[in-house]
Structure 1
Amino acid sequence: MPRPPAPTAAPAPPVAETLGLGPKLLRYLGGSVVATVCSEVTFVLLYGPVHVGTTSASLVGWLAGAVPNYWLNRRWAWQRTGRPSFRTELLPYITIVLMTLLLATGITHLLDVWLHHLGTQASLRVALVAVAYLGVYALMFVLRFVLLDRLFERVARLEARHHHARTEAAS
């Protein structure tokens, strides 16, 4: 008696279709708020009371936010679990968030130099540079969401194709 053909799994729909854009954006906002608070507090403490330069404060502040941002948004917004692929997931993420680091570092440095040149009082300078640092993150919020959404959709499609190919090979 001939065997019926093995059922084939349909490729997973893009991440945006399965999660819905509104709820995903809200989850992304939640993860980004946590990461931004970590980043901003670290930057302000280093740049203000500790008197670290803007470049070092931006770098450490970025790192303080980038790590929780990745894990929170990967899990919450895009509901991804399991071990991430360095090539298809981590490397593109690092590239995307490095844009924010470069922008934050450049803007805070230029503003700090300009405010020093003007002779701005230290406490006002710290406040203005901190607002500029936060402003970069606010401006990059939407761009990062769009880029990360595309990244995680692409990863989901690649995984679905890989799973489909394994299923086909096993039958």
Structure 2
Amino acid sequence: MSTARFGRYWHLLSRFAAASVVATAVSQVVFLVSYSLGSPPTASTVLAWLAGAIPNFVLNRRTWGGGGRSALRGEILRFGAISVGTALLAALATHGAEILATSQFPDNRPAQIAIVWGAFAGTYVVMFAVKFVLIDRLVFTGHRQQRRAR
């Protein structure tokens, strides 16, 4: 990999990480508040996903440069598919974690919250690298097309 190409990916990765931190912070707060107030883990996951997906898309579109107005619909659909897939994995993980947590700590709500929240956060940590590659290769492809046109 050339130095210029490596530098480009390092730039994208650092900006992707910053966007992910913002989206994750929003999602984590919404998840913790919602689940702590008694929402089921799947509902809390969906609320958290909605709260984080919008700033995540906007910030990542700025990072990659998007393909302009004409490409917006396709970018939203492809980003949405990746984002929904991640949310579904998180919903499965939190549901399973809640079953485990309530059976192991039936009278300890703080422990249950910690375990279920750990499953939620862990899903997004694991998906970080996968999402970076998918977003770069499948969602915001306009930057590669612009380079080829030059």
TM > 0.5: yes
- In 2, Cα distance between equivalents of 1:156 and 1:59: 31
Structure 1 gap segments, 5+ residues each: 1-15, 165-171
Three-state SS of the structure 2 residue aligned to 1:85 is helix
In structure 1, the partner of 2:19 is 31
Question: RMSD over aligned Cα, in angstroms?
Answer: 2.4
Partner residue in 2 for 1:105: 91
Say whether the 8 Å CA contact 2:78–2:139 is kept in structure 1: no
Which residue in the other structure is 2:44 paired with?
57
Equivalent-residue separation in structure 1 for 2:125 and 2:90 (angstroms): 11
- Judged with a 3 Å threshold, the aligned counterparts in structure 2 of structure 1 residues 117 and 33 are, in CA distance, closer, same or farther, namely same
Aligned partners of 1:89 and 1:155 also within 8 Å? no
* TM-score, normalization by structure 1: 0.76
Q: Which residue matches 1:92?
A: 78
Kept in 2, the 8 Å contact 1:115–1:125? The answer is yes
Q: Does 1:126 align with 2:113?
A: yes
User: Per-residue deviation at 1:134?
Assistant: 0.6
Q: Superposition pairs for residues 6-85 of structure 1, below 5 Å? A: 17=5, 20-48=8-36, 50-75=37-62, 77-80=63-66, 82-83=68-69, 84-85=71-72
CA distance in 2, matches of 1:23, 1:99: 26
**Which structure's relative contact order is higher, taking Cα pairs within 8 Å and 6+ residues apart?**
1
The secondary structure found in structure 1 opposite 2:38 is coil
Cα deviation for residue 23 of structure 1 reads 1.1
Structure 2 distance, partners of 1:94, 1:152, is 9
* 5+ long unaligned stretches in structure 2: none
Contact kept, 8 Å, 1:78 with 1:152, in 2: the verdict is no
In 2: Cα distance, 1:59 partner to 1:40 partner: 12
Question: Is contact 1:108–1:132 with CA below 8 Å preserved after alignment?
Answer: yes
1:89/1:81 Cα in 2 relative to 1: closer, same or farther (>3 Å)?
closer
Q: 1:54·1:112 contact (CA, 8 Å) conserved in 2?
A: yes
Residue type at the aligned position of 2:93: I
Length, aligned pairs only = 145
Q: Which residue of 2 aligns with 1:145?
A: 132
- Higher Rg of the two aligned structures: 1
Residue 9 of structure 2 aligns with an amino acid whose one-letter code is L
Letter in 2 for 1:138: V
